[in-house]
Amino acid sequence: MTRERQEIGAAAERIAAAFLRRQGIDIVDSNVAVGRGEVDLIGRLGRRRIIFEVRSVTTGGNPLDAFDRPKADQLWRLSSELGIGRVDLVAVGFSQRFVTIHWIPHVL
């Protein structure tokens, strides 16, 4: 992964965390290593823990397209290992004029 792509991913995670906080989610951890995988964000809503997968695009495409079957399978495994039964997706799209954010609860 290029340095630029890493910086875009980190920016997307910061934007997603700030957005989720405004929605009442308590972000309790980020970039959690689980075996050979990683969970972007872990949040809490009331007593329920939630994994948030953050995907980003810069090409003007749909950021939801960045969430594919291999990623879903990996997140299912990681969520099982962590004992967290809910996975949400936060898709962040960057364009020259604005940033879009889509939060899709219960993708897994």
Q: What is the pLDDT of residues 8-26, one digit of tens each?
A: 889 999 999 999 999 999 9
**pLDDT per residue over 39-59, tens digit each?**
999 999 999 999 999 999 887
Q: In order of start, what are the domains of the chain with their CATH numbers? A: 3-104 (3.40.1350.10)
- DSSP code string of 71-91: HHHHHHHHHHHHT---EEEEE
Which residue has 């898709």 as its token pair?
A: 91
With b for 16 or more beta-carbon neighbours within 10 A and e for fewer, the 30-61 pattern comes to beeeeeeeebbbbbeeeeebbbbbbbbbeeee
pTM above 0.75, yes or no: yes
Work out the average pLDDT over 60-76: 82
| Structure confidence at residue 95 as a pLDDT band (50, 70, 90) | confident
